[in-house]
Amino acid sequence: MTIFQYVARRLAFIVPQLLGIVAVSFFLVSLIPGDPAVLMLGPLASQDSIAKLHASLGLNQPLAIRFLHYVWRLLHGDLGTSWQTQRPVLLDLLQRAPATIELVTYSLLVAIAVGIPLGVYTAVRTQGIPSKIATMYGSVAGTIPDFWLGLVFIFIFYNRLHAVPAPTGRLDLAIPPPPTITGFYTIDGLLTGDWTALGSALAHLALPALTLGLINAGPIFAMTRSTVSRMLDSNFAAYAQLSGLPRSLIIMRAFRNAFPSIVTVISVLYGFLIGGAVLIEFVFSWGGAGQYAVQGVLNADIDPVLGFVLFSAIFSLVIYLAVDLIYFALDPRVRR
């Protein structure tokens, strides 16, 4: 099988998956309490005005008809218009998506930097106080609410220690954004030599990335520890040890054989972080797509919520396709 055949086979499943995700999310989001017409016109609006707005927005039609209209608009690249911003949802998402992707990317790097070393260490040294502490952390990490940990970090590092700037977005209020190249303030500041914006972006990014990274390092830690332990207990590791190979080389080979499973967890976690960053964006006033979706839920603005779900689904599917291509390159059995 060539790589083009492999990609074509994977892409054939993307359209049905996206259609299923859109259908489920549309019917679930339609159950959100609140009448957008009342919120748009105000509580003192007359019933006639509300009825006319329902008719203009198509809210008086059956749910199935509204769904078919929404799918038809999607096929033409129209994700609707937010009544809060009075702008097309597609433009809002294109403006806000880089902030979310930047946040989850750095959060994933923190999770990898924490989870993989701890997993390898506890797999090699199963006894001792450091190993027990690391194991306890891996068990507790996923149970802590990320927004709660973010508020604790704000209280400690901003309110008490004054070590980080106020959680008011991606930059200090007096600092303009760097010229847009990628949408990532850190990368754009580096590429354009805007060191003031780069420093401010890194300072504002520290707490939210650390919060999400520490919370989501648990799955990486658990997978690394279990797979490396299994590899160290395998026959090839025992034979390598009897042959007199250095312990460090055996551990390196064990980690290499465990790496595909770790990559799978990392890819799933990367897609999960898009949705997991929603509350963190709200806590830190990040201004990303997640905060945009939360505001849509709070104000019964359906199109931004559906647009965010579609954006998250496409992002996750792209990540999974990239991981499949990595497997295609590394594992000959996939190419059969």
Per-residue confidence of the chain (336 residues) as pLDDT tens digits?
677 777 777 777 788 888 888 888 888 877 777 667 776 777 777 778 778 777 777 777 788 888 888 888 888 888 888 888 888 888 988 888 899 999 999 999 999 999 999 988 888 887 778 888 888 888 888 788 888 999 999 999 999 998 888 888 888 888 889 988 888 999 999 999 889 999 999 999 999 999 999 998 888 998 898 898 888 888 888 888 888 888 888 888 888 888 888 888 888 888 888 877 888 888 898 888 888 888 887 777 788 888 888 888 888 888 888 877 777 776 666 556
Sequence letter at residue 304: P
Residues 186, 254: one domain? Answer: yes
Residues 240, 107: one domain? Answer: yes
Rounded to whole angstroms, the Cα distance separating 79 from 89 reads: 6
In the Cβ-directed half-sphere of 40, how many Cα atoms lie within 13 Å? 20
How confident is the model at residue 321, as a pLDDT?
Answer: 81
Rounded to whole angstroms, the Cα distance separating 124 from 134 reads: 13
Is 172 inside a domain boundary? yes
Contact 263, 236 (CB under 8 A): no
Residues 120, 230: one domain? Answer: yes
Residues 43, 138: one domain? Answer: no
How confident is the model at residue 331, as a pLDDT?
Answer: 63
Is 279 inside a domain boundary? yes
How confident is the model at residue 74, as a pLDDT?
Answer: 86
- Domain end call among 53, 78, 103: 78
Compute the chain's Rg from CA coordinates.
24
Q: Tell if the pTM clears 0.85, that is, is over it.
A: no
Q: Which residues of 193-212 are buried (b: 16+ CB within 10 A; e: fewer)?
A: ebeebbebbeebbbbbbbbb
Rounded to whole angstroms, the Cα distance separating 136 from 62 reads: 52
Region label for 75, one of left (φ > 0), alpha (ψ between -120 and 50) or beta (otherwise)? alpha
Residues 61, 99: one domain? Answer: no
Residues 49, 105: one domain? Answer: no
Residues 74, 135: one domain? Answer: no
The parent domain of residue 64 ranges over 36-78
The position carrying tokens 């149970």 is 143
Is 29 inside a domain boundary? no
